[in-house]
């Protein structure tokens, strides 16, 4: 499995393995700007988004993953894992983060995590 991104490989930092995340589940990584939820879909796609619903700050990592979306566990808002946009009648968006997967290892760019605070 390999997902391709345009960020130079030297800037990526390994954050874990695909196998450490259950299918249709998530794990969180702590950053200086807050938690990032890293999701694995049933089809083994990996996505990283801000772990805070803009509606009532629900922990999206505890939500239900369906397709390439997650439903907030507090009030059932649904977010597209690729774009971070709320789906359906809900309005709002969460920040997304580029992920790279190489040989089952997941990488993220630390500078982009810090940019979220700016």
* Chain segment 15-38, per-residue pLDDT in tens: 999 999 999 999 999 988 889 999
- Domain positions in the chain are 2-115
Distance CA(46)–CA(49), nearest Å, equals: 10
96 is written with which tokens?
A: 């997304």
pTM of the model: 0.85
Arch. (CATH architecture) of 2-115: 3-layer Sandwich (2.102)
Torsion of CA 17, 110, 112, 64, to 10 degrees: 30
Given a contact cutoff of 8 angstroms between Cβ atoms, the answer to whether 56 and 22 are in contact is no
- Map tokens 């890293």 to a residue: 38
Collapsing DSSP to helix, strand or coil, 111 comes out as helix
DSSP state of 101: E
pLDDT recorded at residue 117: 44
What's the pLDDT at 10? 60
């Amino acid at each position: 499995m390999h997902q391709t991104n345009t960020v130079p490989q030297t800037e990526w930092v390994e954050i874990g393995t695909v196998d450490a995340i259950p299918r249709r589940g998530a794990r969180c990584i702590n950053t200086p700007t807050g938690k990032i939820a890293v999701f694995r879909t049933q089809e083994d796609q990996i996505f990283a988004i801000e772990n805070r619903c803009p509606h009532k700050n629900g922990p999206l990592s505890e939500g239900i993953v369906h397709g390439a979306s997650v439903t907030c566990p507090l009030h059932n808002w649904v977010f597209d894992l690729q774009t971070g946009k709320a789906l359906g009648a809900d309005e709002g968006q969460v920040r997304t983060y580029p992920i790279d997967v190489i040989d089952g290892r997941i990488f993220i760019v630390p500078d982009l995590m810090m940019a979220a605070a700016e």
